[in-house]
Chain A
Amino acid sequence: MLLRLFTICLLSLAMTGCSGLLNNLVPDVYLVDRHTLMEADAAGEWPELDARLRQQAIKEGSEPYAGINEQLDEQTGFRALNAEYALPDANQPLK
């Protein structure tokens, strides 16, 4: 009898599409997004870091890093230095 009832139990559940009685007990339906709760539950809290992040949040001026030589060849001045290769036309130059 019990075995039969267990079969009925399984059959009755199968049609509801539920995954079983002992499913994962971690709440899987949130009103707040899952990531926020994951952070709240398991991510460390570092007030000093938050303060640093607040400080870095907005830059009003350019990042003052150096590095002059590396960028020199990339500067505008060094682009398109090639000349043009035309036979000089002594009669009608456009200059």
Chain B
Amino acid sequence: MFNKKHFSLALLLSVITGQTSPLSAANTANVDWRNNRVLPLEKVTVGPTDNYQAVVDTNKQVVIYTRHQNLLSNLVKQAFATGISSHLLPDDYDSKEPALSPDASQLAFTLFRFDALGDVCLLPLAEEKNQSQQVNCITQKGSREWQPFWVNQQQLGYLRRGFSQTSTELVLHSLTDNTQQPVVSGQISAPAASPDGQWLIYHREGDAIKLNKAAKPSGLYFYNLVKQQELGPVQLDLSGNSSFARFDSQQQFIYFSHYLNDTNNDQKIDAQDHSVLFRLPLKQALDTSQKHLPEQLTSVAQNCSFPALTHEQVYMTCAFEGSLDTYRVPLTGQVPAQWQATEINLAHAQASSYEERLLLLNTLRYRQKINQQSANSPEFLERLLSNHLALNEFTAAGYYVEQLIQAYQLQPDLTEFFQNLAILLQLQAKQRLQPQGLLTASFRQQLQEQQQALAANTRNPENKALFNAWISYLLAEPQTAKRALAQANANNLHPLHVYLQLTLANQLLTNDPVALEKLLAKALVINKPAINKMPAEARLFYAFQWLKQLSHPNLALSTAQQQQRLQTMADSTQDERVKILLLNEVDLLQLIAATELNEERRYFTSISKRLAPAKDDAQLRRLAHLRAIQLTGLAEKYNFMELISRHWLTHTQISDPGFAQTAEYYGSINLSRAYGSLQQQENMTALNTFYTLIRQTADPEAIYQLIYIGLQLDNSLKPRMELLLNQLMAEGLIASNDAVAITTLELLQNPNIETQRLEELAAELQTYQAKGLNRGAADLLTGSLYHRLLLKTQVGYSHNKHYYQQAHYHYMLGLDLAWNNPRSQAALLNNLGQLHLSVRNYGLASEFFTLRLQRPFVTVEEQLLTHWQLAQSLFYSNRLNTASQQTELALTLSQQTGKSDQLMALEKAGFYALQAENFLLAKKHYQTLLQTKALNGLNLTKANFSLAYINFKLGQSAPAEAGFKQVLQQLPSLNAGPFKQGEPPRFSPQRLSLQSYGFLAQIAKTPEEKLNWLEKRIQLLTELKIEDLRYGFDEANRLSQLIQAQLQAAVLLEQLQRPEQLAKQMQTNLASLEDWQKNGGSVTSQPVLQSVYNYLVLAMSHPTAFAKAPKSLDKLLKTIHNEWVVAPVTPDYNQAQQLKLSLLEAGYRFGLQQQTSQGLATEIHVLQEGANWRGLAETRPDLHQALQALAAGLLDLTKP
């Protein structure tokens, strides 16, 4: 409950901080705190298909991109406003690389429809219909043309390569006179033209053989179309390679992708590696005499490429959420354009990833580059290097190490240190290629050689000890490494030296916390002058690490011992920030141990006061609060944990670039806190926590939960919920018509909202501008409205595709925005699974349910249902074994739930095991199920039928026969449910009867019994009136089954030597063939051919009974003959079928004594001498051989 203690704590905080809601402060502040941060990329397209290479038409507000799905690429157009997308071309037009003409009236693209190598084609965009007819391919077949781009409205460019050529040409193509002009050639890719049509830019892959004087290095090259001159490569102060360059509309910048590091560990940096977007002023790019530092626009973590520019934004393809998708940011990139050193440094101190830090450092370097000396100072290079080392980016780290070797030329010890570090980085990169847990002989030898070289060439003992330790570690010799590490104990080490020591120590001393603690303590001591080399930030971080180490369970220090050590260390340090962190820890330990509120308050107040200077110290503020949150959380003092997180938020200026992130963190902690209260059924506390959260961050997730508690979970809290909601609106903390609040209120008050109202609410939510963070929760709600609309309007197999697309789009956007919110993710993944299951998109449904199952569940029942739904999706995707495994898991889980769940779990486990053809397992489940005697009616019959079928498959005829007979006895008491046109068929007693008769006919021991069951089957098939799909098959299929059963009965009559009955059966069979044809059945289909062949052969055997041929036979035979003929050339197979029918007809006439032996022999001879027969000997010897055998068999009949 939200008790007095909690309230007094909240009051305490407001007294201490003197602040209320940051949102109310934001209302008056001149800062949009949501955008005063490293901007997250805004998602434009959604997966799970790959969507890439976007181009944008800002006038029509559409984006056109390539979608890769089911091994095919297609061009897709998507409206910005709705997210609704559609293919531009028919599905079988395999196409990609769209390029929009300057006036946006045409699209150039690469098409593979008419030339598998690829053609460059044009599509006018004005016409919406018959677009495949509008496609105009301007290149020839037989050569590959791709990557089109526009030089101007009348001129296109593209790449071209002949079938057998290895070199690529960059070609300009005039649309006026259709002439083509090759401009440059080589290993060219990713071309583009400047808006004024003067420049081309492209990537050229350097020549492999560098000895050639004319060899050109890899990189971005310009081509001046006026001077007809190539210029390049562009000189960049970056490691790695660049590509996909584009000019902005003003021609001030080039934007390009850059591959900084070997992220896929294939030992080369290429387009397979993670990419970053940069931009560089065009003027600088054209000056290839010196290196230029470009401006980084995206973080390496997002892996973005293919920039496409509008006047305000850069669109790009990024791959960091499982699929390639289009995102956008302002032209100035993720770091707000107005940020200068102060803001960037503040953001840097609070950055949540090393990739983000690198983005900030590079931006700082770029924006401050007037101060070249500073930007290239060793300190700055070392900061960049530190982050690349933390990310294990060895190539990029190596780039800065090389520069540092140059920078420290006059300091031999440091030169030596960085030279050794360069070698270590190379060795670490190679180690990645070693098989898991193994060391190849060549790598071992290389390490040993380096170790010897180190011993011989390194003078500084500290350097020698450190790198010797590292190489020993790579050699998998941990004891040697530990000994070497212990030697490196001087106090005047470079901070990176200490970092490398501690990084290795963390690996080697996992089981020796005492040694690790000593090493860390050494790093933060400041009472020796030499240690001043350690930067203050690093020292504070080591202090933070030391605190964690001090409380390590293996050290087993009592609280008092910890406090004593902390106090001693605090007394000995001259670093005030370290001192604050250490003394706070003393207070925190006491707060945790305290049992009385007054005591707790005292320690909290002490901490709060001590942290006053941290208001302006982002790193100290972050580390101190994190440590406090960690300790209070572990001690389960959640009230204080919440207070401390709020303290952190209120001590962060709203103008601070770290505010949004702190607010997110605060939101995350307090959402957890609120949900924890819900789980403890402390609904009032949860309600108040959600309320507090809305006050602080206007989180839509909290708005939903606040209303949910009042309206669904606990009605007694409804008045309070309404009071709090009104208060939030009255204070302007959320809008009075907040779409999330309004929609949630309506949905929860009236679950059956009318379609029109649902549409209105969805439209409102689509334009929802969240005041706070966590926009993903709003997308979840929006998607759920479209999902409701879909289910509400779905009829049978048909559904509203607009609702479906909208629901999917918003759920996927939500998933993107909820990347750090597992609760929203869980709901979104569930909904995505349900959505795709409902539209029979089983493959995707199973993917989403699988992901859903990787996250926790509130109840076991929900987990059980998800396992079953996953099983169903897998079953429909033909992954029968996996489906069965899911139901086995569900069966185990059902032991924790009610008896009815156990019964269902048993039945489902049996059904899916049967489908997976695991008959023994299925039998076990069905037997257990039937032993419960809890089944009746339909489910009992189905279980009996399944068990009978399992016994049949296991070859256990007696129980199978008994089972099917039992089913037949039970069926008359069962009725099929009502059937509606357009809906899938449901249970049908007739279909189960048909199958039971069929199986019984197969099981029966005597021909008489078999015939008996077959006659029942024939009778039922004859009586069935097919008017719709309630039986799962149509009239033609009924007749097919009937014909098949009649033939099977005929064989049995022959065995029983009942020729008269046999002849009658076969005549009935021929009559069925007429119905078959009337229903559109082909005369060359299996039922007809099988029947006719059987009739002719059986008539030969029983000429008397078959003496009177039905009138339809002759006509039928002629029709079949004609049907085999295909103009202009009858295929071999058809010819063979014609000949076979002729042979059988001849035999039939002989059998009925309408033909003499001689006549039969002559007729066969004529056929054999014919061109068709002889031709088959050459073209289809297999068919020819079969005909020869049949002819020989017939001729045997003439022998006495």
Is B a genuine binding partner of A? yes
Using a CB–CB cutoff of 8 Å, the interface residues on chain A facing chain B are 1-2, 4-5, 7-9, 11-16, 18, 21-27, 29-33, 35-38, 40-46, 48-49, 52-53, 56-69, 71-72, 75-89, 91-95
Verify B826–A68 contact, CB threshold 8 A: no
Cβ contact within 8 Å between A86 and B943: no
A86 to B534, CA, bound (A): 8
B668 touches A44 (CB 8 A): no
Q: Is the CB of A41 within 8 A of B987?
A: yes
- Given A25-B999, A58-B788, decide whether A92 and B1190 contact each other with a Cβ distance below 8 A: no
Query: How long is the Cα–Cα vector from A1 to B774 in the complex, in angstroms?
Result: 86
Q: A45-B938, A85-B496 are in contact. Are A76 and B1002 (CB under 8 A)?
A: no
Complex interface bits, B333-359 against A, C-beta within 8 A gives 1, otherwise 0: 000000001000100000111101100
* Across the A-B interface, the 3 shortest Cβ-Cβ residue pairs: A25-B998, A86-B382, A85-B495
B630 and A42 within 8 A (CB): no
Chain A residues in 8 Å Cβ range of B1190 = 8, 11-12, 15
B1089 an interface residue at 8 Å Cβ cutoff? yes
Q: In the bound complex, what is the Cα–Cα distance between A88 and B855 (angstroms)?
A: 45
| Residues on B with beta carbons closer than 8 Å to the beta carbon of A35 | 875-876
Residue numbers in A under 8 Å from B286 (CB-CB): none
Which residues of chain A are within 8 angstroms of B987 by Cβ–Cβ distance? Answer: 40-41, 45
State whether A44 touches B911 (Cβ < 8 A): yes
Contact A85 B535 (CB under 8 A): yes
B673 touches A64 (CB 8 A): no
Chain A residue numbers with a CB within 8 Å of B356 are 80
Asked whether any CB of chain A lies closer than 8 Å to the CB of B851, the reply is no
Q: Are A4 and B374 in contact (CB under 8 A)?
A: no
Q: A75-B668, A86-B535 are in contact. Are A94 and B380 (CB under 8 A)?
A: yes
Q: Is the CB of A26 within 8 A of B1048?
A: no
Which of A16, A64, A91 has the most chain B CB within a 10 Å cutoff? A64
Number of chain B interface residues as a range: 35 or more
The total of interchain contacts (Cβ-Cβ below 8 angstroms) comes to 344
**Residues of A close to B1051: CB separation below 8 A:** 21-22
Contact A77 B1090 (CB under 8 A): no
A29 is contacted by which of B374, B387, B1037, B1147 (Cβ under 8 Å)?
B1037
| Interface residue ranges of B532-572 to A (CB < 8 Å) | 533, 535-542, 544
Q: Beyond A41-B995, A56-B830, A57-B791, is A89–B942 a contact (Cβ under 8 Å)?
A: no
30 contacts between A and B (CB under 8 A): A1-B1101, A8-B1097, A11-B1190, A14-B1186, A15-B1187, A22-B1051, A25-B997, A25-B1002, A26-B998, A27-B1041, A37-B991, A38-B915, A40-B988, A42-B911, A44-B908, A45-B938, A57-B791, A65-B857, A72-B630, A75-B669, A77-B665, A78-B626, A81-B544, A83-B539, A86-B382, A86-B386, A86-B535, A92-B379, A94-B365, A94-B368
**Segment at the A interface, from B287-295, B324-332, B435-443, B1026-1034:** B1026-1034
Asked whether, in the complex, the Cβ of B1086 is within 8 Å of the Cβ of A92, the reply is no
Please report the C-alpha to C-alpha distance between residue A71 and residue B676 in the assembled complex, in whole angstroms: 13
Q: Which of B14-22, B272-280, B468-476, B777-785 contacts A (4 or more CB under 8 A)?
A: B777-785
| Pairwise interchain contact A30-B1033, C-beta atoms closer than 8 A | yes
Chain B residue numbers with a CB within 8 Å of A68 are 633, 638, 669, 672-673, 676
Min CB–CB distance A75 → chain B (angstroms): 6
Of B148-156, B200-208, B816-824, B1165-1173, the one with at least 4 CB within 8 A of chain A: B816-824
Chain B 854-896 interface 0/1 with A at a Cβ cutoff of 8 Å (1 = within) = 0111100110010011000001100000000000000000000
Question: Which one of B379, B633, B865, B1037 has the highest number of Cβ atoms from chain A below 10 Å of its Cβ?
Answer: B379
Q: What's the least CB distance linking B1019 to chain A, in Å?
A: 15
9 more A-B residue pairs beyond the given contacts A32-B985, A61-B701, with a C-beta to C-beta distance below 8 A: A8-B1190, A25-B1017, A29-B1033, A31-B1037, A43-B911, A69-B634, A75-B820, A80-B356, A83-B537
Secondary structure of the B side of the interface?
Answer: helix
Identify A44's interface contact among B676, B862, B904, B1136, CB under 8 A: B904
Q: Which B residues touch A7, using CB under 8 A?
A: 1193
Q: Which residue of B lies closest to A16 (CB)?
A: B1089
Are A86 and B1100 interface neighbours, CB within 8 A? no
Distance, CA A72 to CA B673, complexed state (A): 11
Residues of A within 8 A of B1040 (CB): 29
B945-A63 in contact (CB<8A): no
Q: Are B784 and A59 neighbours in the complex by a CB distance under 8 Å?
A: yes
- A22 and B673 form a contact (CB under 8 A): no
**Residue B992, interface by CB 8 Å:** yes
Residues on B with beta carbons closer than 8 Å to the beta carbon of A46: 904, 939
Interface presence of B787 (CB below 8 A) = yes
B956 → chain A closest CB, angstroms: 18
Per the bound structure, the CA–CA distance linking A25 and B1002 in Å amounts to 8
Instruction: Please state if A58 and B875 are interface contacts (CB–CB under 8 Å).
Output: no
Contacts of B368 in A (CB 8 A): 94
User: Measured between alpha carbons, how far is A72 from B1189 in the docked complex, in Å?
Assistant: 80
For the complex, what is the distance from the CA of A12 to the CA of B1094, rounded to whole Å?
8
Chain A CB count within 10 A is highest, among B351, B353, B865, for B865
- Name B780's contact: one of A11, A27, A60, A83 (CB within 8 Å): A60
Q: How far is the CA of A11 from the CA of B540 in the complex (A)?
A: 90
A64 touching B787 by the CB < 8 A rule? no
- Cα of A95 to Cα of B386 in the assembled complex, Å: 17
Chain B residue numbers with a CB within 8 Å of A16 are: 1086, 1089-1090, 1093, 1137
Q: What 0/1 readout, one digit per residue, does chain B (351-376) give for beta carbons within 8 Å of chain A?
A: 11110110000001100100101110
Beta-carbon contact of B834 and A57 below 8 Å: yes
Mark each residue of chain B from 656 to 691: 1 if its CB lies under 8 Å from any CB of chain A, else 0: 000001001100110111011011100000000000
